[in-house]
Structure 1
Amino acid sequence: MKVKGTFIHKLKTGENALILLTGSKTEQEKLYHHLTVDAYQFKKDIVAEEPRIALISAGYKDENDEVTWNEDYIPVPKWYEQN
């Protein structure tokens, strides 16, 4: 699976979610599962580089260029927990 793009989505709560885009719904589901289960170092690196990011998720662009993503967001470690 390859990440084909990213964007930051601001939630109604004010938190920022980083959405990683893949090429298909199947790849999106695989990436989301990976982020949920086995991406601690990746999440730790995100928060170190961009502490405004509180959550991550995976999405994809369909054949009509519409972006869809999983709204069950995955929390990243808090930046202050890294010190």
Structure 2
Amino acid sequence: MGKYSARSAGEYPGVINESSWQWPAIFTWLQTAGNVSRHEMYRTFNCGVGMVIALSAPEADKALALLNEKGENAWKIGIIKASDSEQRVVIE
């Protein structure tokens, strides 16, 4: 998540819905075994997300349908929106 660039999203932060996926067990183990904060986990690891593509809402729906049709595990993880936050990524 730490590699997200708000520049590609018109300088608005990505707002990630943390409940849109479940962390693979390895990330939970790493966090516990290493006593790593949630913030640092997201800054350092993808926590099971993999690649993120930012698209307009109508295009996102088309892309999700196509990717899932082709056997990829694709889902919506959040939105890009105007915010007063200084953070590039906001986890909710």
Q: TM-score, normalised by structure 2?
A: 0.27
Between Structure 1 and Structure 2, the one with more helix by share is: 2
Higher strand share: 1
Which one has a bigger Cα radius of gyration?
Answer: 2
TM-score normalised by L of structure 1? 0.28
